[in-house]
Structure 1
Amino acid sequence: MKKKALKNIALILLVIILGIGVCEIYGQLNGYSQTSEGDLSQYGVHHYKINARFLEEKNLLQVQQEVFYENKYEKEFDTIYFHLYPNAFQEEKKAPFPEDEIEQAYPSGFEPGYIKIEKVKVEGKDIKSRIEGQDDTILALSLKQPLKPNEKITIEFEYQVKVPPCVSRFGYGENTYNFGNWYPIASVYDESGWNLEPYYAIGDPFYSEVGNYEVTLQLPKKYELATTGNIKKTDTVEGSKGEEEEKIWKIEAQGVRDFAWVISDDFQVKTADTDGTQIKVYYLEGQEGNKALEVAKNNIKIFNKLFGKYPYQQFSVVSNDFYIGGMEYPNLVYIDQNIFSGKYNIALEYIITHETAHQWWYGMIGNDEVDQPWLDEALTEYSTMLYYRERYGEKTMMTMFNEMIVNDYVRTKALVQGDERIAKSVKEFENNRAYSGIVYGKGAMMFYELEEKVGKENFQKILQHYFKENRFTNATEKDIQDATRSVTGKDYQEFFDQWLNGKIHLKGNQAA
């Protein structure tokens, strides 16, 4: 996710952009050579089959879901867990936003959102289940027989999802309905056990495994759909009581970490092909669709070169009712519609670039975004700088780095009261400003310093090695250290420990 003060970005970037000479980037692709036509289903841990119908007059989804769940660990499970993120929106005082942002999140006033589980079956039989955790965001399923390593089971859900008037990841505004983190998704089990964290108000508090999805959406015909995955087929059907026609969308998404979608009856769409990927931009009348398309095309081309090939067939940039700036999902990113307006045209490039970089660092290489948020956010923020270097040159990149990263860190140092550890959980930050300055700002400065130490060529090789070895998995701090050691032949553990655990305190871009 990228959250900045838009006016500050616009003013800073306007100064920068006046001195930029535009150039195109060409060259042979490096790293992972998987084509967009490749079979990605082999990377899916679980398989989700979802059928949902949207009842617009009630702001309600009626859903049937099957999960073909596999135990890929060396431990038997008596209980397995799913996240129910929509339940975080049930009460205004507990909604997943800082207190001072509630009015921004609910511009027309608070109404609850939730997910109501009506039936759960395992292998066709009813089982005991309970809703637990903070804000009722965890569903625990008690299995009648232990699930042994390498065994598979089929879980069936029936549920309703109430969509709140919230201009966030999940909710609706004047122009769009946003469906992010909206369905029961399997919790991750790792060396620390089950990860059952709630929907925190700071950062992107999610942690998931790559899966495969077959999704069928039945929507009023007037809506245009932007979605994770590939739209395989559409059909028109008579609506309820013959009053309105509906459209059925059949979508397939293989090897993705999550599934999100956005609908609007006002969308306009522009498309282009880049390096075997179809780029789609969904925007509203009078907005900067052409600019967004140009940026997304250059993002994919440059990041393909720097990191490794984007393996999916499509990537969508979506203008929507979303007050937080930008948000990443597999094959799809949210961008605040105000940034699309043209008034913040320069900021549009910055935020689209950041969210596109997340397709590599979060999408293809995942991590625990609750306990190690720096691993994707810091690398994504510095990847944004790498884009500006490739696109516009070293001078512009350094101007951007100092203005957008170093200065952001300096402005927020006081908010962390001396605790400058990058390697903190989202729950250890009191507000988004402190989170941004340390995780994004100081974290990106760490990667800049690493590049200075190993050299630009080796740094690019480190990122390519990291991508190749960890794609479609969840990585940890150890994996980026291993990639650094493999490329350079040197152990940089002390370097990472000093930066991540707060032993380096900076003034500007110099160590104090």
Structure 2
Amino acid sequence: MKISLKDKRTRIWLAAVAAAVLVVVLTLILLPSSPGRDAKKSTYQIQAEYSPSTHVIRGSMKLNYLNQTGETLESLSLHLYPNAFASEDTAPFPQDWMELAYPNGFNTGGIEAANIRVNGKEAQTSLEENNQILNVKIPRLGKNRSVKLEMDFTLTLPNASGRFGYTDSGVNLGNWYPIVCGYDGGFVKNPYYATGDPFFSETALYEVSITLPQEYTLATTGVITQKDQSNALKTVWNIKADNVRDFACVFSADYKLLSEQVGDTIVYSYFTDEETGKKALEFAVNSMKIFNELYGVYPYPQYTVAESDFFIGGMEFPNIVFINKQFYKLQNLLTLEHVVVHETAHQWWYGVVGNNQVSEAFIDEGLAEYSTMVYYKKTKAPEDYRTYFNYYISNNYRFAMAELRQRYNELNMSINKPVNEFEDDLAYETMVYTKTALMLDTLNQQMGDEAFFKALQSLQSKYQFKSITKDEYIAAFQAQTNLPVSKMIDAWLSGKVILH
């Protein structure tokens, strides 16, 4: 288009307007991005320091929360999991496990949040679920907009050998800081149930600084970016972890360390006994190679298997798993192998692809348990594989069901229900782990390996760093076959399939 300018004044005026527009554009480009508009993911910045004399951690947290719920929000809800440890009534252990959890007798733990601010201003807050849920009022927050939340916190560790606590062996920090509740039509504000792994959260970027006495070695989610030992008495550990749905660590004065490279990932083994520590590394490396091939390459730069005083057995967190120190004995190598492989499988099923572990625990636990059977199939002789499958799955299911039928006149055989609705921990494990593994084995046999594992690969590629539901889980299998597998899976999940 050609424009004719009639006089010089018009040209000067237009040039001035153009210059002003250019200044505005350049200013917008060069100014720092507004976190309210341009944040691409939620970010947690945590600073914490541990005092071994008081077993207290004092810290602060800055959260830049990105609203990816698809809805406008007027408040945020955060889990304060440590407050479950405030009393025996709410401690997250079945009653018959309390002596194992507290070998020196029950004692309290908890977290107190203070100086809570939203976008720099004092926040309106409330607590519920026995102080395990913190609600924070925020300005109306539209889709894909972000808000800044800041707070200080004081964390009191219990003398307990669960996910969270201290013992003579070291300190376990699982589910220890304020974390935004997962969202499923609303924030999922469940308490810290004693059954299962009652956790649900979305992936975020974590930048964490933890100050510890010099004698401690830290094993952690994420990559240790700096280790500052300029203070003769303390070490400051700086860690960065991207696209993870939680942050956990364990530290001990007794750790030894071995590592091995698997593709672009360094696998670490933290242990106290070298012979079994090497075996733990071997099990983690071998299972990672198998799962890389079956499901898709593990997308993180590190993975850690850490011996810990965790009496329950094994616990998955992003990039790190806690393994019971009692398994690090030569007579317990079969158990060590099983638990390390199961927890390694969780790095794909929970870590990379998440789910609501409160309402649909069968998704990650069933896939992790069946993945362990697949590992045995690929690493053991055929006759040995059958022995492993019968021991951990078929016979285990039969013996557990016999025990449950003695305990209960009426037993709900449904796999798919919230963790707090199972009759007890044995019922939960039998349905969620073992029966789901039997379902997946049946599904694998009907579909064949190619279609079965293609379905799982599709979940990994489509939902990487996201969370799936039962419907998406079933749809992935149905998409790979003309067989009516949707109906078959529904029948298993609803309890219509009865095994004898």
Give TM-score scaled by structure 1 length. Answer: 0.87
The answer to whether 1:190 aligns with 2:178 is: no
The match for 1:399 among 387, 390, 393 is 387
The match for 1:74 among 70, 74, 81 is 70
- The letter for the 2-side match of 1:265 is A
Contact 2:39 2:145 (8 Å CA) reproduced: no
The match for 1:86 among 82, 94, 112 is 82
The match for 1:140 among 132, 135, 138 is 135
User: What is the Cα deviation at residue 45 of structure 1?
Assistant: 3.8
Aligned match of 1:230: 223
Secondary structure of residue in 2 paired with 1:233? strand
Contact 1:53 1:61 (8 Å CA) reproduced: yes
User: What is the Cα deviation at residue 287 of structure 1?
Assistant: 5.4
Aligned match of 2:33: none
User: What is the Cα deviation at residue 310 of structure 1?
Assistant: 0.3
The match for 1:47 among 43, 47, 55 is 43
After TM superposition, the runs of 4+ consecutive aligned structure 1 residues lying more than 3 A away are 42-45
- Greater Cα radius of gyration, structure 1 or 2: 2
Counting only pairs closer than 5 Å after superposition, residues 314-353 of structure 1 correspond to structure 2 as 314-353=302-341
- The letter for the 2-side match of 1:485 is Q
- Please give the alpha-carbon distance, in whole angstroms, between the structure 2 residues aligned to 1:81 and 1:447: 35
* Per-residue deviation, residues 461-488 of structure 1 (Å, max 9, x unmatched): 1111121111111111111211112222
Contact 2:39 2:66 (8 Å CA) reproduced: no
- The letter for the 2-side match of 1:79 is S
* Per-residue deviation, residues 21-50 of structure 1 (Å, max 9, x unmatched): xxxxxxxxxxxxxxxxxxxxx997411000
- Please give the alpha-carbon distance, in whole angstroms, between the structure 1 residues aligned to 2:259 and 2:68: 39
- Please give the alpha-carbon distance, in whole angstroms, between the structure 2 residues aligned to 1:382 and 1:398: 13
Of 78-87 and 413-422, more deviation after overlay is shown by: 413-422
Aligned match of 1:56: 52
User: What is the Cα deviation at residue 93 of structure 1?
Assistant: 2.7
Q: How many equivalent pairs are there?
A: 458
- Please give the alpha-carbon distance, in whole angstroms, between the structure 2 residues aligned to 1:430 and 1:169: 23
- Please give the alpha-carbon distance, in whole angstroms, between the structure 2 residues aligned to 1:276 and 1:75: 38
Contact 1:220 1:247 (8 Å CA) reproduced: yes
Task: Evaluate the alpha carbon distance shift between residue 146 and residue 457 of structure 1 in structure 2; reply closer, same or farther with a 3 A threshold.
Answer: same
Aligned match of 1:455: 448
* Per-residue deviation, residues 283-326 of structure 1 (Å, max 9, x unmatched): 01455111111111101101101111001111110111010000
Contact 2:265 2:303 (8 Å CA) reproduced: yes
* Per-residue deviation, residues 172-208 of structure 1 (Å, max 9, x unmatched): 11212000000000112223x2200010000000001
The match for 2:496 among 485, 491, 503 is 503
Aligned match of 1:102: 98
The match for 2:423 among 410, 413, 430 is 430
- Please give the alpha-carbon distance, in whole angstroms, between the structure 2 residues aligned to 1:211 and 1:218: 22
Secondary structure of residue in 1 paired with 2:284? helix
Contact 2:166 2:172 (8 Å CA) reproduced: yes
The answer to whether 1:207 aligns with 2:232 is: no
The match for 2:472 among 465, 479, 491 is 479
Aligned match of 1:32: none
Aligned match of 1:255: 243
- The letter for the 1-side match of 2:215 is K
Aligned match of 1:123: 119
Secondary structure of residue in 1 paired with 2:104? coil
- Please give the alpha-carbon distance, in whole angstroms, between the structure 2 residues aligned to 1:424 and 1:74: 25
Instruction: Give the percent of matched residue pairs that are identical in Structure 1 and Structure 2.
Output: 39
- The letter for the 1-side match of 2:258 is K
Secondary structure of residue in 2 paired with 1:150? coil
Aligned match of 2:4: none
Unpaired stretches in structure 1, ≥5 consecutive residues: 1-41, 239-243, 508-512
- The letter for the 2-side match of 1:184 is P
Aligned match of 1:382: 370
Contact 1:339 1:348 (8 Å CA) reproduced: yes
Secondary structure of residue in 2 paired with 1:459? helix
Aligned match of 1:152: 146
- Please give the alpha-carbon distance, in whole angstroms, between the structure 2 residues aligned to 1:287 and 1:194: 45
- Please give the alpha-carbon distance, in whole angstroms, between the structure 2 residues aligned to 1:268 and 1:286: 8
Contact 1:43 1:211 (8 Å CA) reproduced: no
Aligned match of 1:5: none
User: What is the Cα deviation at residue 52 of structure 1?
Assistant: 0.5
The answer to whether 1:289 aligns with 2:277 is: yes
- Please give the alpha-carbon distance, in whole angstroms, between the structure 2 residues aligned to 1:286 and 1:493: 47
Secondary structure of residue in 1 paired with 2:457? helix
- Please give the alpha-carbon distance, in whole angstroms, between the structure 2 residues aligned to 1:380 and 1:74: 30
- The letter for the 2-side match of 1:142 is K
User: What is the Cα deviation at residue 343 of structure 1?
Assistant: 2.3
Contact 2:260 2:268 (8 Å CA) reproduced: yes
Counting only pairs closer than 5 Å after superposition, residues 231-246 of structure 1 correspond to structure 2 as 231-238=224-231, 245-246=233-234
**RMSD, matched Cα:** 1.5
- Please give the alpha-carbon distance, in whole angstroms, between the structure 1 residues aligned to 2:391 and 2:329: 23
- The letter for the 1-side match of 2:354 is G
User: What is the Cα deviation at residue 237 of structure 1?
Assistant: 3.9
* Per-residue deviation, residues 329-354 of structure 1 (Å, max 9, x unmatched): 01100100000122201211111000
Of 401-410 and 329-338, more deviation after overlay is shown by: 401-410
User: What is the Cα deviation at residue 412 of structure 1?
Assistant: 2.1
Of 450-459 and 247-256, more deviation after overlay is shown by: 450-459
Task: Evaluate the alpha carbon distance shift between residue 287 and residue 202 of structure 1 in structure 2; reply closer, same or farther with a 3 A threshold.
Answer: farther
Unpaired stretches in structure 2, ≥5 consecutive residues: 1-37
Of 285-294 and 348-357, more deviation after overlay is shown by: 285-294
- Please give the alpha-carbon distance, in whole angstroms, between the structure 1 residues aligned to 2:335 and 2:70: 47
Secondary structure of residue in 2 paired with 1:94? coil
Secondary structure of residue in 2 paired with 1:301? helix
Of 280-289 and 320-329, more deviation after overlay is shown by: 280-289
- The letter for the 2-side match of 1:188 is G
The match for 1:279 among 267, 291, 298 is 267
The answer to whether 1:303 aligns with 2:303 is: no
User: What is the Cα deviation at residue 393 of structure 1?
Assistant: 4.0
- Please give the alpha-carbon distance, in whole angstroms, between the structure 2 residues aligned to 1:339 and 1:281: 14
Contact 1:44 1:255 (8 Å CA) reproduced: no
Contact 1:44 1:210 (8 Å CA) reproduced: no
The match for 2:342 among 344, 354, 360 is 354
- Please give the alpha-carbon distance, in whole angstroms, between the structure 1 residues aligned to 2:274 and 2:169: 14
The match for 1:114 among 110, 113, 120 is 110
- The letter for the 2-side match of 1:136 is N
Secondary structure of residue in 1 paired with 2:377? helix
- Please give the alpha-carbon distance, in whole angstroms, between the structure 2 residues aligned to 1:450 and 1:322: 34
Task: Evaluate the alpha carbon distance shift between residue 472 and residue 286 of structure 1 in structure 2; reply closer, same or farther with a 3 A threshold.
Answer: closer
* Per-residue deviation, residues 221-257 of structure 1 (Å, max 9, x unmatched): 110000000000111243xxxxx61011110000111
The answer to whether 1:177 aligns with 2:166 is: no
